[in-house]
Amino acid sequence: MDRVSKEAGHDARDTPAHQAAADEAPLHEATVSAPVNIAVIKYWGKRDSKLILPTNSSLSVTLSQDHLRTRTTVRAAAEFSSDRLWLNGVEEDVAASARLCNVIATARQLRAAMEQADSTAPRLSTWGLHVCSENNFPTAAGLASSASGYAALVSALGALFELPQSATELSRVARVGSGSACRSMLGGFVAWQAGTMDDGSDSLAEQVAARAHWPQLQALVLVVSDRKKTVSSTAGMQTTVSTSPLFAERVRSVVPHRMAAMRAAIVARDFATFATLAMQDSNQFHAVCQDTFPPIAYMNDTSHAITSLVHAFNAAVGRVAAAYTYDAGPNAVLFVLRDDMRALVQLLTRCFPRPAAMSADAFYADPFAVFASPDLAGRDIDDPAVTALADSVGSFAAGSVRRIIHTEVGDGPRVLPSSESLLNHAGMPKHARE
Amino acid sequence: MDRVSKEAGHDARDTPAHQAAADEAPLHEATVSAPVNIAVIKYWGKRDSKLILPTNSSLSVTLSQDHLRTRTTVRAAAEFSSDRLWLNGVEEDVAASARLCNVIATARQLRAAMEQADSTAPRLSTWGLHVCSENNFPTAAGLASSASGYAALVSALGALFELPQSATELSRVARVGSGSACRSMLGGFVAWQAGTMDDGSDSLAEQVAARAHWPQLQALVLVVSDRKKTVSSTAGMQTTVSTSPLFAERVRSVVPHRMAAMRAAIVARDFATFATLAMQDSNQFHAVCQDTFPPIAYMNDTSHAITSLVHAFNAAVGRVAAAYTYDAGPNAVLFVLRDDMRALVQLLTRCFPRPAAMSADAFYADPFAVFASPDLAGRDIDDPAVTALADSVGSFAAGSVRRIIHTEVGDGPRVLPSSESLLNHAGMPKHARE
């Protein structure tokens, strides 16, 4: 192997003549974007923590990359002396992350197999990699950045290496980076089959239905302010597995039924069943967190108030018109059909007034811009019961909900044109930060 | 039966001569006080809601009546035209409470059996009753007033009627008023055996150990501010039984082991085991509430912060030195051994500053008066780890914890002298309120 750091700047080959030759060589690079997903049957607990094999199957909705996404560029070059990675402009230590190393090594193995079969293929598997990744949302907001991040990385490696594997097959690789990342390898509605094999070969993501299957289904992401440090999901779920007396019952008796019922509800576009199961499974996930020792509380008072508001909204309109779900943090994702969206948003924005001042980051210029959406314009709460409800609930502290993101079901990872590359000619980030 | 309302004032017998005769007749009256109790293995769920038969056994600590108690006077008089009850000076509609009627009727039956056996006994079972009851804590504070209230009522009826039944036997009667009231019929450490009989005859409270068994054990009641309306425990537990998929597993597999282990820990005065089981069972109770549909959240952000602080305290001192438990509300009860009390209180009062202004009710002139306790005077946090912890945690909003009540294990209901009666000569409350 012959890797040279261009950054060192003292290499003998870094001459004008050599540079000109490099300019003419084709770039081995791919840029992709990948979506976040939100589980409606929750993943919590591993049966193998190195391979990230879960204790139970889970099912998620992929959210639109138009609103939340990770974009990643991967370049392979013989000149790269080592693998390097920049996340939102800041370099990370690749060697320090066993999961990251595992993912890269696995993708290289798949490439190496191709190279063995085709002697004309460039030996990309032996070259260094530069990876540059950017989220269009704050990592700290708890919006599943590791899922979209590893899905983007694996998809980019698949494109760079021209791997023949399907998205489902590559979901095994993404899974090794972050369990829920395997579900971000596909669009629409996605099941992560727990599998039973020790090597994880049957623990992968499959599409239950495509994005276009249920165009009426929309989502609101409510970013909730929180002062607490939270327990990482990796640490939290292992503590649950080892200390919660109720957890095994969830895995054994509850999830299998719910997986089947949720799949059927999605196929039938049965919103009431979909919504009820999503709420119940979110609740049970947080129940087993509370049954953990020491207990884990990801939801806060604002989260619980949103839960109560959704149940009150459903009671007011006399049907299951909205659902909530919460991951390992206080943020809520609400599901609602298009026709009910405006009433729900008006209710939420009356009960959770917009923050007086915006926080420093500018990911969302106007977090309450949902009203500008064509879907919502020109419609109002026409249900007297909902209006009365908003008046009766009163309002919570301004800024308890910091942002409202109106989104919908999305597609899987997208390969982007080279003009979208995040790396400059020298293979360094275009948008570096200190 | 010949009951005359003195309040009507028009009865022919309400003459001076008759009145003089009544003055000389002995009063049939009893005044008692009864304690609150806090469950360390939780009662949640009924198998029979009329008889209040629980789905599982539970175990509690009776708290001292010197700090929290209900005082109740019961008087029987042939002149009372109907049963009347005043709670904290306000008359309640006896007939509107099926449980109250059940309790009074059951006590009358026990009295009637005595009267049948002894023809000289006054026919108290046929007379009207006036009941006057006062708590020394705000009912709204969520401090288990129904438990101490029904225990006081049944104990007062037992004294008034001179019933031969033991406290354990009478706990069946208290149970019909409020399940957890049966445990307030005894002091010390009390087990409520779920029983298996359909008539509830084996569902009663038994003393595991007397108050004097473990004098080192002390408690802090932290009254937490809350803006929410809470779900009543009666409604909440029935929803849990009918909707939580995890609840049956708790009843079947978890509680029986914990009851045996908790009993053994108390007998052995093994604080670490006692504390760990208490925390785990409180957590699991709130977990099955969260697994209920719609979910029930009794704990709030302040409660969860207290939980975290207790775990951090234990980590800082390197042993299980304190335990928390929460009932159907945000208030915490902490258990701690006497030698660790001052360090814990100093930690709590640094992290939860006293309210700027006291609330209107004056049940506790100084809610943070715990430092005046002889047990705490003159000692300080001498553990550097605890001091560092207080500094690292920082402080929560002043008034998040409204009151801190320092108490200990207490005795069972006490019969008080007639000078403590809450009823005046006419059988009306001494301290009536509008």
pLDDT digits 0-9 by tens, B221-271: 998 877 666 788 999 999 999 999 999 999 999 999 999 999 999 999 999
Residue of A nearest to B315 (CA): A294
Question: Chain B within 8 Å of A246 (Cβ-Cβ)?
Answer: yes
Report the alpha-carbon distance of residue A155 to residue B264 in Å, rounded: 57
B377 and B232 housed in the same domain: yes
Q: Which residues of A touch B276 (CB under 8 A)?
A: 293
Q: Which amino acid is at A113?
A: A
> Residue A198, class by beta-carbon neighbours within 10 Å (0-12 exposed, 13-18 middle, 19+ buried)?
exposed
B174 and B250 housed in the same domain: no
Q: Which residues of A touch B307 (CB under 8 A)?
A: 294-295, 297
| Non-local CB neighbours of A330 within 8 Å, separated by 6+ positions | A142, A224, A225, A226, A298, A299, A300, A302, A303
B255 and B366 housed in the same domain: yes
Q: What is the pLDDT of residue A9?
A: 37
Q: Which residues of B touch A245 (CB under 8 A)?
A: 249-250, 253-254, 284
Among B255, B116, B285, B275, smallest CA distance to B194 is for: B255
The torsion defined by the Cα of B80, B85, B88 and B89, in degrees rounded to 10, comes to -40
B184 and B259 housed in the same domain: no
B250 and B389 housed in the same domain: yes
CB atoms within 10 A of CB A196: 9
Helix (H, G, I), strand (E, B) or coil at A421: coil
Q: What is the pLDDT of residue B134?
A: 95
β-bridge pairing A84-87 and A128-135: parallel
A131 and A189 housed in the same domain: yes
Identify the residue among B226, B240, B251, B283 best suited for mutation to test binding to A, counting A beta carbons within 10 A and taking the highest.
B283
Q: What is the pLDDT of residue A26?
A: 83
Q: Crossing angle, helix A271-290 and helix A233-243, to 10 degrees?
A: 80
Among B300, B284, B42, smallest CA distance to A247 is for: B284
Q: What is the pLDDT of residue A129?
A: 98
Q: What is the pLDDT of residue B27?
A: 92
- Whether the bond between B353 and the residue before it is cis, its omega within 30 degrees of 0, is no
Residue B434 is assigned to a structural domain of this protein? no
Among B89, B78, B103, smallest CA distance to B153 is for: B103
User: What are B205-222's pLDDT values in tens digits?
Assistant: 999 999 999 999 999 999
Question: Chain A within 8 Å of B7 (Cβ-Cβ)?
Answer: no
CA-to-CA separations, B26 to A205, B21, B77, in angstroms, rounded: 83, 10, 10
Burial A126-150 (b: 16+ CB within 10 A, else e): ebbbbbbbbbbbbeebbbbbbbbbb
Helix (H, G, I), strand (E, B) or coil at A63: strand
CA-to-CA separations, B29 to B75, B84, B416, B421, B423, in angstroms, rounded: 4, 14, 11, 8, 9
Residue A183 is assigned to a structural domain of this protein? yes
- Whether the bond between A294 and the residue before it is cis, its omega within 30 degrees of 0, is yes
Please judge whether B287 and A291 are an interchain contact, meaning their C-beta atoms are less than 8 angstroms apart.
Answer: yes
ipTM: 0.89
- Of chain A, the percentage scoring pLDDT greater than 70 comes to 85
Which structural domain range is residue B328 located in?
A: 217-408
Residue A67 is assigned to a structural domain of this protein? yes
Q: What is the pLDDT of residue B377?
A: 46
Helix (H, G, I), strand (E, B) or coil at B131: strand
Q: What residues 280-339 of chain A have any CB closer than 8 A to a CB of chain B?
A: 280, 283-284, 286-288, 290-295, 297, 299-301, 304, 307-308, 311
Q: Crossing angle, helix A145-160 and helix A98-117, to 10 degrees?
A: 20
Report the alpha-carbon distance of residue B159 to residue B264 in Å, rounded: 33
Which residue of B276, B287, B295 is in closest CB contact with A246? B287
Q: Which residues of B touch A300 (CB under 8 A)?
A: 301, 304
Residue B33 is assigned to a structural domain of this protein? yes
- How would residue A369 be classed by pLDDT, with cut points 50, 70 and 90? low
B227 and B206 housed in the same domain: no
In DSSP terms, A374 is beta-bridged to: none
Question: Chain B within 8 Å of A240 (Cβ-Cβ)?
Answer: no
User: What are A44-102's pLDDT values in tens digits?
Assistant: 999 999 999 999 999 999 999 998 999 999 999 999 999 999 999 999 999 999 999 99
Please judge whether A291 and B283 are an interchain contact, meaning their C-beta atoms are less than 8 angstroms apart.
Answer: yes
Domains held by chain A: number:
2
What's the rounded mean pLDDT across residues A220-246? Answer: 88
Q: What is the pLDDT of residue B15?
A: 45
- Of chain A, the percentage scoring pLDDT greater than 90 comes to 71
Structure tokens at B20: 């003089």
Q: Which residues of B touch A41 (CB under 8 A)?
A: none
State the CATH number of the domain containing residue B347.
Answer: 3.30.70.890
Which residue of B284, B292, B308 is in closest CB contact with A291? B284
How many residue pairs bridge chain A and chain B with CB atoms within 8 Å of each other? 80
Residue B350 is assigned to a structural domain of this protein? yes
Structure tokens at A70: 């990770």
Contact A286, A298 (CB under 8 A): yes
Q: What is the pLDDT of residue B381?
A: 59
Q: Does residue B53 or residue A402 have the better pLDDT?
A: B53
Please judge whether A283 and B297 are an interchain contact, meaning their C-beta atoms are less than 8 angstroms apart.
Answer: no
Report the alpha-carbon distance of residue B270 to residue B288 in Å, rounded: 27
- How would residue A370 be classed by pLDDT, with cut points 50, 70 and 90? low
Q: Does residue B205 or residue A8 have the better pLDDT?
A: B205
β-bridge pairing B84-87 and B128-135: parallel
B144 and B289 housed in the same domain: no
Identify the residue among B249, B258, B302, B310 best suited for mutation to test binding to A, counting A beta carbons within 10 A and taking the highest.
B249
Q: How far is B290 from chain A (nearest CA, A)?
A: 5
Please judge whether A304 and B292 are an interchain contact, meaning their C-beta atoms are less than 8 angstroms apart.
Answer: no
Which residue of B276, B291, B294 is in closest CB contact with A311? B294
Report the alpha-carbon distance of residue A30 to residue A417 in Å, rounded: 8
In order, the DSSP letters of B241-308 are HHH-TTHHHIIIIIHHHHHHHHHHHHHTT-HHHHHHHHHHHHHHHHHHHHTSSS------HHHHHHHH
The torsion defined by the Cα of A65, A67, A73 and A74, in degrees rounded to 10, comes to -50
> Residue A377, class by beta-carbon neighbours within 10 Å (0-12 exposed, 13-18 middle, 19+ buried)?
exposed
In DSSP terms, B8 is beta-bridged to: none
Q: Which amino acid is at B361?
A: D
Residue of A nearest to B295 (CA): A283
B64 and B95 housed in the same domain: yes
Q: Which residues of A touch B284 (CB under 8 A)?
A: 245-246, 290-291
Q: Which amino acid is at A98?
A: A
Contact B128, B80 (CB under 8 A): yes
CB atoms within 10 A of CB B276: 18
A141 and A289 housed in the same domain: no
Mean pLDDT check: name the lowest of A154-158, A350-354, B117-121: A350-354
The residue assigned the tokens 């705000």 is B138
- How would residue A354 be classed by pLDDT, with cut points 50, 70 and 90? confident
Contact B199, B66 (CB under 8 A): no
> Which span out of A6-20, A220-234, B114-128 was modeled with the highest average pLDDT?
B114-128
Contact B131, B83 (CB under 8 A): yes
Please judge whether A287 and B246 are an interchain contact, meaning their C-beta atoms are less than 8 angstroms apart.
Answer: yes
Q: How far is B295 from chain A (nearest CA, A)?
A: 7
Helix (H, G, I), strand (E, B) or coil at A313: helix
Report the alpha-carbon distance of residue B223 to residue B287 in Å, rounded: 21
Weakly modelled stretches of chain B, pLDDT under 70: 1-25, 138-142, 144, 227-229, 356-383, 434
Please judge whether B283 and A297 are an interchain contact, meaning their C-beta atoms are less than 8 angstroms apart.
Answer: no
In order, the DSSP letters of B47-68 are EETTTTEESS-EEEEEBPTTTS
Please judge whether B300 and A301 are an interchain contact, meaning their C-beta atoms are less than 8 angstroms apart.
Answer: yes
Please judge whether B307 and A297 are an interchain contact, meaning their C-beta atoms are less than 8 angstroms apart.
Answer: yes
Structure tokens at B381: 């946090």
Residue B137 is assigned to a structural domain of this protein? yes
B88 and B61 housed in the same domain: yes
Contact B219, B407 (CB under 8 A): yes
Q: What is the pLDDT of residue A10?
A: 41
Identify the residue among A231, A277, A293, A301 best suited for mutation to test binding to B, counting B beta carbons within 10 A and taking the highest.
A301
Please judge whether A283 and B291 are an interchain contact, meaning their C-beta atoms are less than 8 angstroms apart.
Answer: yes
Helix (H) or strand (E) holding B415: strand B414-416
Residue B2 is assigned to a structural domain of this protein? no
Among A202, A210, A254, A224, smallest CA distance to A44 is for: A254
Q: What is the pLDDT of residue A405?
A: 86
Contact B407, B372 (CB under 8 A): no
A244 and A368 housed in the same domain: yes
Report the alpha-carbon distance of residue A384 to residue A114 in Å, rounded: 64
CB atoms within 10 A of CB B83: 19
Q: Does residue A431 or residue A320 have the better pLDDT?
A: A320
In DSSP terms, A76 is beta-bridged to: A28, A129
State the CATH number of the domain containing residue B56.
Answer: 3.30.230.10
Report the alpha-carbon distance of residue B218 to residue B408 in Å, rounded: 4
Supply the DSSP symbol for B420: G
Report the alpha-carbon distance of residue A206 to residue A169 in Å, rounded: 9
User: What are B326-365's pLDDT values in tens digits?
Assistant: 999 999 999 999 989 888 988 888 888 877 665 544 344 4
Burial A56-95 (b: 16+ CB within 10 A, else e): bbbbbbbbbbebbbbbbbbbbbbbbbebbbbbbeeeeeee
Residue A338 is assigned to a structural domain of this protein? yes
Q: Does residue A397 or residue B240 have the better pLDDT?
A: B240
> Residue A206, class by beta-carbon neighbours within 10 Å (0-12 exposed, 13-18 middle, 19+ buried)?
middle
- How would residue A363 be classed by pLDDT, with cut points 50, 70 and 90? very low
Contact B177, B107 (CB under 8 A): no
Contact A104, A83 (CB under 8 A): yes
Residue of A nearest to B228 (CA): A305
